[in-house]
Structure 1
Amino acid sequence: MKRRQFLCGSITAAMMSSVLRAAEGKSTPRILLRSSWQTVNIGDIAHTPGVLAILERYLPEAEIYLWPSNVKNGVQELLLSRFPKLQIVQGAEALKSAFAQCDFLLHGSGPSLVAERDVRRWHEETGKPFGVYGITLPVQDSASTQATPGDVFARTIALLSEAEFVYFRDSVSMQLAKDRGCTCPVMEFGPDGAFGTDLRDDEKAIAFLQRHGLEEGKFMCCIPRLRYTPYWVIPEKKRERDEIKHARNEAMKQHDHAPHRKAIMELVRRTDLKVLVCPEDRTQMAVGKELLYDPLPDDVKARVVWRPDYWLTGEAISTYVRSAGLFGNEMHSPIMCIGNGVPAIVCRWSEQTSKGYMWRDIGLGDWLFDFDNEADVERLPSAVLEMAKNPEAAKEKAAKARQFVIQRQRESMEMLQRTV
């Protein structure tokens, strides 16, 4: 589908929604979006503007209230510059007013039913409907190998059963909910909200690329990640080091980054592309330097750029869309890439829960690598090189996955339209 056709279809759907509401005598719908979990990760930031952009496209008549956990560090300004009508709910009185005014609570994408306590509060205090949009349903903590206590998980399933709909961002989570007895009337695959993110900061991105000699279409991005995010190195998190997770990180860090180093060397030596080593969260600049950039041979390092500082979502996407593709150990940068038609490879492991399987669900199983499987570890460099050497085929594959995502976005918003 061409961009013009897509926009026309979106406008038509939005106009029909407004006409139908007017004909039925319905007032303007007010939706309370529970999202914005943290700001130290551009993926967590992206959940919110992604869902907001999807709502804007399909329910333009709706008034959207955001109930955030954290919009500090420039994120509030970022959101309001893109969505000037957005009402951000902060403080007890503002929340009380939002509970009274809003018709529906939508829990945004995340690694679980992140705000379960708040959803339960909404349900019990207002009796108004709620829905869940694009979550993973984890059942086990890989650090302790202990399953989530049955009574706690059962409470989650019971609450999800009260929802108007639950969209799971991976089919493994959806099947788990069904197997555990969830009776929500609509349980379907629904892509992570971050696929919809359209933020841009072209000025910063272009300036950075020019400073480092990275030409549009002539570089690939690579993102490092440890098995567990070491939040204890981020001062504002104020966490003591988790020794079990730290030990796991240390044990696996070479295993999980050696394939990327090999891929970088293959790219530099066998193509005319450069490589940008960049972060998705605030801990990954150091990880990228230690495990990807510093160990490279000098002849390779000369055509590799290491980004030393964190960035926000707009600058990251403005960089990704100018690249030839992305590979690495993260999830949401690939999501933002595919959402914007950029080829992207995902590498996963059990500690990341089942979210990585969404790549298989959207038709990109060939670009999903399980680093708990040594065969996948071995074949990563050749897959990266194949993507680089056949850019048109890679873009076509990315575009096909993107169209599937857009279809599911439209269908899920049709469900929301009927509900509100």
Structure 2
Amino acid sequence: MTHLKFGKRSSALDRRAFLSGTAKLGMAAGTLGLNSSLLPSLASADDGKPPKRVLLRSSWQTVNIGDIAHTPGVLSILREHLPDVEVTLWPSNVDNGVEELLRKEFPKLKIAKPRSEALKQAFRECDFLLHGSGASIVAERDLIRWREETGKPYGIYGITFPMKKSSATRARNEDAMARSVEVLSHARFVFFRDSKSLALAKSLGASSPVMEFGPDGAFACDLRDEPAADRFLEENQLKPQGFLCCIPRLRYTPYWTIKSHVKFDPVKHARNEAMKEHDHAELREAIVQVVRETDRKVLVCPEDRTQMAVGKEMLIDRLPQDVLSRVVWRPNYWLTGEAVSVYMKSAGLFGNEMHSPIMCIGHGIPAIVCRFEEQTSKGYMWEDIGLGDWLFDLDSETDRNRIVPAVLQLANDLDAAKAKAEEARRFVENRQRETMAVLQQELASIS
């Protein structure tokens, strides 16, 4: 199978031409035949008809600030580009303060929880179902249910489409993949958050009318908690732009340590133990070099609830004594608003996670991503948005040797790093506008 891929130094125009099939205004104008001059006014068009209603299927879990960020990100994109559309959220989970956070930021938002009367009403009243960003077609069975029960259209926004890995029989795996391809094909549009997923879907015969690159919704997450961030910085003597953030991660998230219903997995645990030094040695050395060779500090912080302990064990406890005085360890979890506010006050971020870098780039903050084979292809979105030089494969010795120099270069030439991050941010925002034009066209076609 041939994967479609951008060169690490390809221009925004080259990427835009590949992703949209035209260098003018992409699929929004080319595929759908829209006049590009109309696109800025699509969101404000008022034809006197009742507003369209969109049911957003999202909010997969709350133990990871990245999973939290998917929903406010997509809601922000909808609010900016389609302000007259009424949105109802169909979440899997909005506990741990996330529901309150969403209602505060989006006061008009309706929430229809599973098995509720509100969800039944949403099935009757909503015109279109939008599946939000995720590691796969997370709510695949719900899309099937929506289509079978309502006959109404749906679209899929900013997902990875992974080759299914399972201990099940080959026949079951093939059946599951065939079902996924069918779900993709029935969608009015599918936006993949990385080009490898797009290529895989096409190679398997998926045939949605529109299949294109579309950024992860978390790029647009703009939740803030400035008071909490300011308190944290003051308590830890961190000055704005005077520190870099570093996020650890094991090969497999040990959910059994934070979720009572998840059983201990000895195979995944063994893999984590075997690779944890390998996967954190370069991060640790980068911390040492930043502290010793620049005037910046380093904040070791989490993206999910398991990573405070990982950061303590693999980074903090193994640093030289002369470095520790300028390294801060965050011992407790935080919600997305505080995290985003801290990231925006930092000089940049590096580590083994994906969604904190996504949220950084969404605000023009430099971010370096390290990935490994156990992850899906989502990390390759960094190449798709022009940041291939900031993507490193921990399973490649060549890439691992480049991590510390890249972090030091970011720390020593922040102006250049910010300019690079800003170019990626502009590219992402342009794609968001184009994808919303596609959704607008779909809604306009519904009588």
Fold shared by both chains (TM-score > 0.5): yes
CA deviations on 1:217-267 (whole Å, 9 max, x unpaired) are 100000000000000000x44211111111110000000000000000000
Distance 2:430 2:238 in 1: 34
Quick check: 1:51 aligned with 2:74?
A: yes
Q: For each residue in 1:334-363, what CA deviation from the matched residue of structure 2 results, as whole angstroms up to 9, or x when unmatched?
A: 000000110000000111110000000000
Is 1:84 matched up with 2:107? yes
* 1:173 matches 2:171: no
The 8 Å contact of residues 140 and 148 in structure 1, kept in 2 or not, is answered as no
**2:221 match:** 197
Partner of 2:287: 264
Distance 1:14 1:39, change over 3 A: farther
Which one is further off, 25-34 or 188-197? 25-34
Q: Is the 8 A contact 2:130 2:156 kept in 1?
A: yes
Distance 1:393 1:144, change over 3 A: farther
Q: What CA distance in whole angstroms lies between the structure 1 residues aligned with 2:221 and 2:295?
A: 30
Q: Distance in 2 between matches of 1:376 and 1:15?
A: 42
Name the SS for the 1:158 alignment partner.
helix
2:227 & 2:169 partners in 1: Cα distance? 46
Q: CA deviation at 1:92?
A: 2.9
User: What is the alpha-carbon distance in structure 2 between the residues aligned to residue 28 and residue 82 of structure 1?
Assistant: 21
- Matched with 1:124 is 148
Structure 2: which amino acid aligns with 1:358?
M
Mapped to 1, the partners of 2:153 and 2:216 lie a distance apart of 21
Aligned length: 406
Does residue 247 (structure 1) correspond to residue 270 (structure 2)? The answer is yes
Give the Å deviation of 1:398: 0.1
Match for residue 160 of structure 2 among 110, 114, 136? 136
Post-superposition CA distance 1:174-208 (Å, at most 9, x none)? 00000000010100000000000000000001101
8 A contact 1:14–1:60 mirrored in 2: no
Segments of 5+ residues of structure 1 without an aligned counterpart are 1-11
Q: What's the secondary structure of 1:327's corresponding residue?
A: strand
Distance 1:226 1:147, change over 3 A: farther
Which of 112, 131, 149 aligns to 1:107? It is 131
Query: In structure 2, how many angstroms separate the alpha carbons of the residues matched to 1:115 and 1:43?
Result: 17
Q: Counterpart of 1:5? A: none
SS where residue 276 of structure 1 aligns?
A: strand
Mapped to 1, the partners of 2:402 and 2:293 lie a distance apart of: 17
Paired letter, 1:82: E
Equivalent residue for 2:185? 161
Q: Say which of 295, 312, 315 aligns to 1:289.
A: 312
Question: Of residues 246, 250, 258 in structure 2, which corresponds to 1:226?
Answer: 250
Q: CA deviation at 1:95?
A: 1.0
Stretches of structure 2 lacking an aligned partner (at least 5 in a row): 1-36
More deviation in 315-324 or 147-156? 147-156
The aligned counterpart of 1:188 is 212
- Kindly state the Cα deviation for residue 379 of structure 1 after the two structures are TM-superposed: 1.0
Shift of residue 78, structure 1, vs aligned partner = 0.5
SS in 2 for 1:321: helix
Give the equivalent residue in structure 1 for 2:437: 414
Structure 1 runs (4+) greater than 3 angstroms displaced: 12-15, 18-21, 142-148
CA gap 1:19/1:332 in 2 versus in 1, 3 angstroms: closer
What's the offset of the Cα at 1:27? 2.3
Q: 2:121 aligns with which of 85, 94, 97?
A: 97
Q: 1:35 aligns with which of 58, 69, 84?
A: 58
Letter in 1 for 2:42: S
**In structure 1, C-alpha distance between the alignment counterparts of 2:383 and 2:364, rounded to whole Å:** 17
After the TM superposition, which of the residue ranges 355-364 and 145-154 deviates more from structure 2?
Answer: 145-154
> In the TM superposition, what is the alpha-carbon distance from 1:20 to its structure 2 partner?
3.6
Which range moved further: 88-97 or 175-184?
A: 88-97
Work out the CA distance in 1 between the residues paired with 2:396 and 2:110.
46
Q: Distance in 2 between matches of 1:307 and 1:209?
A: 11
Give secondary structure in 2 for the equivalent of 1:182.
coil
In the other structure, the counterpart of 1:348 is 371
Are residues 204 and 142 of structure 1, via their aligned partners in 2, closer, same or farther at CA, if it must alter by over 3 Å?
farther
Equivalent of residue 175 in structure 2, options 151, 159, 162: 151
Q: Which amino acid aligns with 1:60?
A: P
CA distance in 1, matches of 2:238, 2:72: 27
Matched residues in 1 for 2:255 and 2:109: separation? 30
CA separation in 2, counterparts of 1:337 and 1:130? 30
CA shift at 1:144, angstroms? 9.3
What secondary structure is seen at the aligned counterpart in 1 of 2:129? Answer: strand
Match of 1:75 in 2: 98
The one-letter amino acid paired with 2:245 is C
The answer (yes or no) to whether the contact 1:39–1:73 under 8 Å persists in 2 is yes
Question: Aligned in 2, Cα 1:15/1:167: closer, same or farther, shift over 3 Å?
Answer: closer
Give CA deviations for 1:359-412 in whole Å, capped at 9, x if unaligned.
000000000001111111111001000000000000000000000000100000
Pair 1:60-2:76 in alignment: no
Show the counterpart of 2:397: 374
Q: 1:119 to 1:60 in 2, by over 3 A?
A: same
Report the AA paired with residue 377 of structure 2: S
Distance 2:428 2:167 in 1: 32
* Deviation for aligned residue 1:145: 12
1:17 to 36, 42, 60: 42
Q: 1:399: which partner in 2?
A: 422
**2:34 corresponding residue in structure 1:** none
Letter in 2 for 1:294: D
Instruction: Compute the TM-score of the two structures, normalised by the length of structure 1.
Output: 0.94
Query: What is the CA–CA distance in structure 1 between the aligned matches of 2:43 and 2:283, rounded to whole Å?
Result: 49
User: Which structure is higher in RCO with an 8 Å CA cutoff and minimum separation 6?
Assistant: 2
CA distance in 2, matches of 1:115, 1:17: 29
Partners of 1:267 and 1:388 within 8 A in 2: yes
Task: Check conservation: 1:40, 1:282, Cα contact below 8 A.
Answer: yes
Distance 1:359 1:125, change over 3 A: same
